[in-house]
Amino acid sequence: MRAGMGVIAVGSIVVLIGLTGCADAASTDDRLDRGLRADAADIAREIAGIAGESGLDDPADAIQEYARRALPLLADTGVPEELDEMLDPGSPDYASALRLVGIEASGTESWQEPVGALVLASRTHRFSDDEETTGELCLRVELDRWGPTAGWDDDGAIARVVDCATPSPETVVPEADSRPIIVVPDNAEAVATDVLANAGGASDAADGPTAEAIAAEITARLEAPTGEREVAAQVQVARDGDRIGLAMGTPDDCLLLRADGGRVERLHVSSVQLQPGELGCSASTALASDDALAPPH
């Protein structure tokens, strides 16, 4: 606790005296609490949104993904001591960087409910009369598939102060991400263009290769991905007479090709239109009309 200054008038003499009280301690505590809650809320906003993530089969997977996203952001958190300024005595109190001490799965099977919560902790250091007092502040952030359940703007509601499980909670580590990473091989466009161009035009479409045969030939000629957890995207082919549509990849990295009478063109469609529930990254999308593929206004 820091001493404040009081003013007493004695006759014509003004005397400054030191005052101590609880107000300074409360404001100091608030500074650490506010700073840590702001840090935790910022992380919740930064990691928000796993609704479009592939490979997350249930909410328990989702909270693990949130934890993986949060982990590298923790190093930049914490509240430093406040330096003295001309009109502000500052504060030596400080709080260490937040650490992950809890990953709580909600146990629900519904994606409409919260998927769980992350518990973050920081060691606080407070000084009073040159004596240091250390403690732990724990914060709980509840998340659903879109982000923090408490909304977006209220740091205190997003990051709620809770009792720590132990006086010095241990750091936890999220499960390793084992989901396959779907990629479009580097030679996919060249191989697919070659196969589609030779798949037959209008004159021999009935006798040409089936969609399944085209997909199998392309798949057999693709280069194998070399990155960790990378797997080649499935080759999707649809045939409508002499018109052939091909799709490979994900909404954010989708190869779309359309062949018409032996002429092959690559289609460029915004990732927004390719999301689940929209057109999607599919062979039927490649066969859609140009008007249907036009970007929304």
8-18 in b/e form (b: 16+ CB < 10 A) is eeeeeeeeeee
Residues 221 and 270 in one domain: yes
Greater pLDDT, 23 or 241:
241
Which of 127, 162, 197 is at the close of a domain?
Answer: 162
pLDDT score at 138: 97
Residues 26 and 93 in one domain: yes
Which domain, by its residues, includes 16? Answer: 4-162
Please tell me the pTM assigned to this model. Answer: 0.66
245 φ, ψ (degrees, to nearest 5): -115, 140
Give rounded-to-5 percent helix, strand, coil for the chain. Answer: 30, 30, 40
Residues 13 and 156 in one domain: yes
Residues 191 and 137 in one domain: no
pLDDT score at 111: 78
Packing angle of the helix pair 22-47, 59-70 (nearest 10 deg): 120
In sequence order, which ranges of 74-173 are alpha helices (DSSP H)? 155-158
Residues 206 and 122 in one domain: no
Residue 72 lies in a domain: yes
Greater pLDDT, 20 or 150:
150
Number of domains in the chain: 2
Residue 280 tokens read as 């999607």
Which residues lie below 8 Å from residue 184, measured CB to CB, with a gap of 6+? 232, 233, 248, 249, 253, 254, 255
The answer to whether 40 and 23 have CB atoms below 8 angstroms apart is: no
Model confidence pLDDT, tens digit, residues 156-206: 999 999 999 888 899 999 999 888 889 999 999 999 999 999 986 544 556
Residue 175 lies in a domain: no
Greater pLDDT, 109 or 231:
231
Model confidence pLDDT, tens digit, residues 12-42: 333 333 333 333 333 445 899 999 999 999 9
Residues 74 and 200 in one domain: no
Residues 140 and 241 in one domain: no
Residues 117 and 228 in one domain: no
Question: Which of 106, 219, 104, 123 is closest to 172 using CA atoms?
Answer: 104
d(CA 162, CA 119): 9
Residues 158 and 234 in one domain: no
Which of 129, 162, 195 is at the close of a domain?
Answer: 162
Residue 172 lies in a domain: no
State the average pLDDT over residues 111-134. Answer: 91
